[in-house]
Amino acid sequence: MQHPIEHRAVLGPTLFEFTGDNGLVAPLISGTDAVRVNFDFTGLPPSQSLVTSFGTGPHQHFSGAWSDVRNALFTGGDMSTRTFEVEGQPVLLAMHGAWSFPASEIVSEIQKILSAERNLWNDTAIPFYAIVIAPYENTVSGGGGSSFTNIFNLFLADKQTPTAETASLIAHEAFHHWNPGGLGTVEETEQIAWFSEGFTSFYQDTVIERAGIIAPAGYLNRLNVTIKDYLLSPRLRASNADLGRMSPSDRFAQQEPYLRGAMIALWLSSEIDRQSSGQHTLTDLLLALRDERSKPLTADRIFTTVGRFVDGPTVARMRAFALDGVPVPVSPGSLGACVAFNDRPAWTFDLGFDTASLRPSGVVQGVRQGSNAYQAGVRDGQLLGGFSLWNGNAEREVTLTLREGDGRRERLSFLPRGKMVTIPHAEQIPGCRKGPRIPQ
């Protein structure tokens, strides 16, 4: 399988995978409506395995909210399955395809991560939970996942052994079981993506640090990438409503809620600690939201609940960060007394000409004098034969292939750098004994 086909219903001779949303025909009923659903999988070949949000047997039943069926995953085919325990409860791992690492390697990571998260949420009695891993075939890097009712799936590069990135991805998808899965029905995903994706992004790395999968220094490295990506994002000041209207192909708009929410979580974590004199943590906010999970999870309910932990002006600031696109500051002591935020120079991304020119057979337009592109010889009116770039990354060279009138081709390369800015960079203070303070 190749990205992004995993988001569609997949029906192949050795693998099927679909969700309630993309694979079931159903009447138009509300997500909060109570339903009784029966599934019959008796026609499957005996050699093929089955794992769904509701079990592994040929006859499956579910009673509960319709949204849990829409958000269910159904998969089967040629899979190897194994069961292991987390906090005394069974967890099923199903793997499609052939892998360059033994399953036991990923099992021990999953155990550590799920155990840390179940303890963080004080929720260990989960009688059925499954993880499904399928390969992006013949790939060496990259991965993705999605969380569903009682299950999450991961797509990983089949030629790579698990990395810190993989562990972080597992922690992210597993965390969705509670955020937003356990906090109340979500009616408008985009309205709270900064919370459901952003706070999850913040916690995923604290979880793998606490689980001992990455060292404190590794945690700071990952956080520094988030801070840098956030502050250099071209969508930094976009309102939440505007982000929702931006194209699904706008990578920066899609990524913004993850970054923005992670930064809000870091900031709010230190505000809660300061204003409660260390009596409360950010995790207490999550648990308070879960206590009222019979109510829908909306931005207003989140802000109201935050108001139980911090004062009114702080809630108003948070609202402006989340909804209006006011940039989130980095508070100097937000990771405790032993982590300093030091200014580091960084380049903003600037292509040097109109990005609309970047298409096959495009004509270069809007070249700005003084830009690195101009200095490399890029001029208005040149015909593009091809290009390669890392959009948004000022550290990677852009290469343009220009077509000349006589059929010749010329290559130009340059670093797409704009202004130099300073970015706060988290660093352990030498000689200081404590690590970064993260919410427990």
Residues that bind Zn ion (CB under 5 A): 197
Residue 172 beta carbon to Zn ion: minimum distance, rounded to whole angstroms = 6
Q: Tell me whether residue 207 or residue 351 sits nearer to Zn ion (CB atom).
A: 207
Residue 248 beta carbon to Zn ion: minimum distance, rounded to whole angstroms = 15
Q: Tell me whether residue 197 or residue 229 sits nearer to Zn ion (CB atom).
A: 197
Q: Tell me whether residue 197 or residue 273 sits nearer to Zn ion (CB atom).
A: 197
Q: Tell me whether residue 171 or residue 211 sits nearer to Zn ion (CB atom).
A: 171
Strand partners, 422: 345
Residue 215 beta carbon to Zn ion: minimum distance, rounded to whole angstroms = 24
Separation between Cα atoms, residue 101 and residue 92, nearest integer Å: 18
Residue 200 beta carbon to Zn ion: minimum distance, rounded to whole angstroms = 6
Q: Tell me whether residue 143 or residue 416 sits nearer to Zn ion (CB atom).
A: 143
The phi and psi torsions of 291 (rounded to 5 degrees) equal -60, -25
Residue 117 beta carbon to Zn ion: minimum distance, rounded to whole angstroms = 14
Q: Please answer whether residues 30 and 66 qualify as being in contact, where contact means their C-beta atoms are separated by less than 8 angstroms.
A: yes
Q: Which of 118, 40, 117 is nearest to 74 (CA)?
A: 40
Residue 194 beta carbon to Zn ion: minimum distance, rounded to whole angstroms = 12
CB atoms within 10 A of CB 377: 13
Q: Tell me whether residue 139 or residue 146 sits nearer to Zn ion (CB atom).
A: 146
Q: Which residue is nearest to Zn ion (CB)?
A: 197
Q: State the angle between helix axes of 164-175 and 103-120 in degrees (0 to 180), rounded to the nearest 10.
A: 40
Residue 207 beta carbon to Zn ion: minimum distance, rounded to whole angstroms = 14
Q: Please answer whether residues 121 and 127 qualify as being in contact, where contact means their C-beta atoms are separated by less than 8 angstroms.
A: no
Q: Tell me whether residue 197 or residue 271 sits nearer to Zn ion (CB atom).
A: 197
CB atoms within 10 A of CB 61: 11
